[in-house]
Structure 1
Amino acid sequence: MSSTDNAPAGSTTTTARRNKPLGNAAKAARGDGRLGNRNAGRKPTTTILVTAILAIVALYFLVPVYWVVINATKSTEDLFGTSGFWFGESFQLWENIKAVLSSNGGIFPRWGLNSLLYSGVGSVLATYFSVAAGYALAKYRFRGRKLVYGLVLGGVLVPGTAVALPLFFLFSSIGITNTYWAVLIPSLVSPFGLFLASIYAGAAVPDELLEAGRIDGVGELGLFHRLALPQLTPAIVTILLFQFVAIWNNYMLPLVMLADEKLYPITLGLDNWRAQTDRLPEFYQLTTTGALLSVIPLAILILVLQRFWRGGLTEGSIKG
């Protein structure tokens, strides 16, 4: 008698199951089927189209930066006598930077410090207020909550240029125009940041976590600072960066509020130099090189903060 004849009745079925082709779920688990392929259901034409659109958008943003970098290395003669997308006959980047830093009695470093003050203090405080208010709107139920939401959405839709002149009349009546406060105070309000923080807090901060904290005797401020803020890190970084860039690039508000050149931010100072190019052509080069220097802090900030976005994107991933 063979060993096969002595095998249990269910062994044949077991062997058949082992030899049965893998189903879709098993293929997906092993990654050798269409369900386990990230490109499943994606047409090649769609991939090419999306890649082409992203490439065009990248060129749209990178070409001006490339132009500024190239032309900041030229002399005034080469700026107009050579192609704007390639280097000139001489490389004068360091000479141009020295000229920018020493022109008008060294006013450019003062403008840079002013921009850092406006953007740094304004973005940090605006982010804190936005996150605190957004957390309150998302996690507390109170009378008038929907009205507050409506006002916030209305604030998002109103452009900053529309309120610059009314703010000027208001600040002029209390005597704080042509001061640092005239630019700092409006920078502390960010309707977009408040709206984003409320949406993110509603999704990222579990009510169970807050209830557990209350059971342990943690106060409401402690819940916000010790439990909620760590969960809101990606939103905080996003609001901080958006607000910093918005204040750094703000032109209309300082133009309306400030008259003293020593209080100018970089944007208003560079425009002041550009206005002098008709009678002093060398200010073309000063403006170009100054624009290059004004981009550097924003690039550094983005490179430093991007790791927080990557961390936020992986918070919900499955850990093995």
Structure 2
Amino acid sequence: MTATPLATEAARAVEVSRPKRRALERRHRRSNLLTVFVWISVLYFIVPLLWLFLSSTKDNSDLFSTFGLWFGNSFQLFTNFGSLFTFQGGVFWQWMGNTVLYAVVSAVGAAALATACGFALAKYRFRGQSAVFAVILGSIMVPLTALALPTYLLFARANLTDSVWAIILPSLVSPFGVYLMRVYAADAVDDSLLEAARIDGAGEFRIFGTIGLRLLTPGLVTVLLFQLVATWNNYFLPLIMLNTPSLFPVTVGLASWQATASGGGGAQVLFSTVLTGSFVSVIPLVVSFLFLQRYWQSGLATGGVKG
């Protein structure tokens, strides 16, 4: 019995579709593996925050006698808040204010300098440009701990230690931010726009302010957040630069409380207080990210429309 032309075409279609089905199945398996990896990554970042929140709801006895990833025998979150905000005359508020000052000023300054420097390296040609960029790349590889002692000696010679400038000035320099903005500006800013602005008589500062900054906003926000988090969580630099407790950021202040608790000088009070302070210190970073992420989204949407 001979096959009809319709049956022959159907069989041929089935034979052709088999490789496609196998490719789709392999792609689906890869997608499942990627989904599992994403969920593992989410748990890796969420579980410590969950533990920190749950620990903030416990008293000192429940911290060491109950399961870490569940509530204790009594809900003590508001009691811990009261202890945190009133301990040592409410110095925690001052530490938080210092941290906000250091982080905001450093992040805004570092983002502005990195954006200007990256824009110049990407869109201007000058003698020694490659050497400057090579030095910036090399400085990324230098660990911050290796620069701590020279930075301290330099600021000590200038009588700037134990002051706000000892934290802000070193944090204004972000080699990685410069590198990131140089790479981003090379593709985000079209040379034809700059030439058109020059033909219209605009100066270089006006071109940077009206064209460059608007097109570089997503990259600028990225550098801003990186530097904000880095300065907010910075511990080693304030530790060696500051001696006055009223100038401490929250990292050094909570560490001093932890040292007191571990040494036995108030362990019945400070463990839950330190954990609650750590939880409170994380909240501004989360709020900052949620507020600034819309600039990322708008930048990606603009790039997609342009492409």
TM-score by length of 1: 0.86
Name the CA distance, whole Å, in 2 between partners of 1:42 and 1:293. 45
2:281 match = 294
How many percent of aligned residue pairs carry the same amino acid? 46
Name the CA distance, whole Å, in 1 between partners of 2:26 and 2:249. 48
Name the CA distance, whole Å, in 1 between partners of 2:145 and 2:195. 43
Instruction: Indicate the SS of the match to 2:256.
Output: helix
2:48 match = 64
C-alpha spacing 1:210/1:176, structure 2 compared with 1 (3 Å): same
2:151 match = 167
1:240 match = 224
Which one has a larger percent helix, Structure 1 or Structure 2? Answer: 2
Deviation at 1:173, TM superposition (A): 1.0
- Alignment map for 1:1-320 (pairs within 5 Å): 43-278=27-262, 279=264, 280-281=266-267, 282-318=269-305
Deviation at 1:166, TM superposition (A): 0.8
C-alpha spacing 1:43/1:301, structure 2 compared with 1 (3 Å): same
Name the CA distance, whole Å, in 2 between partners of 1:159 and 1:248. 18
In the alignment, residue 124 of structure 2 is paired with which amino acid? Y
1:215-253 Cα deviation digits (max 9, x unpaired): 111100000000111000110110000000000000110
Name the CA distance, whole Å, in 2 between partners of 1:81 and 1:258. 37
1:95-129 Cα deviation digits (max 9, x unpaired): 11111111111110000000001000000011000
Instruction: Indicate the SS of the match to 1:88.
Output: coil
Gapped regions of structure 2 (runs ≥ 5): 1-18
Larger radius of gyration: 1
1:118-163 Cα deviation digits (max 9, x unpaired): 0000000110000000000000000000001111101111121110
Gapped regions of structure 1 (runs ≥ 5): 1-33
2:10 match = none
Instruction: Indicate the SS of the match to 2:261.
Output: coil
Deviation at 1:42, TM superposition (A): 5.9
Name the CA distance, whole Å, in 2 between partners of 1:158 and 1:54. 31
In the alignment, residue 297 of structure 1 is paired with which amino acid? P
Q: Give the superposed CA RMSD.
A: 1.6
In the alignment, residue 273 of structure 2 is paired with which amino acid? L
In the alignment, residue 257 of structure 1 is paired with which amino acid? M
2:9 match = none
TM-score by length of 2: 0.89
Which protein has greater RCO, CA pairs closer than 8 Å, 6+ apart? 2
In the alignment, residue 317 of structure 1 is paired with which amino acid? G
Name the CA distance, whole Å, in 2 between partners of 1:50 and 1:238. 25
Instruction: Indicate the SS of the match to 1:317.
Output: helix
Deviation at 1:53, TM superposition (A): 1.4
C-alpha spacing 1:200/1:45, structure 2 compared with 1 (3 Å): same
In the alignment, residue 108 of structure 1 is paired with which amino acid? F
Deviation at 1:316, TM superposition (A): 2.8
Paired residues, number: 283
Hey, which bits of structure 1, 4+ residues long, moved more than 2 A? 39-42, 316-319
Name the CA distance, whole Å, in 2 between partners of 1:115 and 1:42. 50
1:55-74 Cα deviation digits (max 9, x unpaired): 11111111110000001011
In the alignment, residue 98 of structure 1 is paired with which amino acid? G
Instruction: Indicate the SS of the match to 1:239.
Output: helix
Instruction: Indicate the SS of the match to 2:302.
Output: coil
In the alignment, residue 95 of structure 1 is paired with which amino acid? T
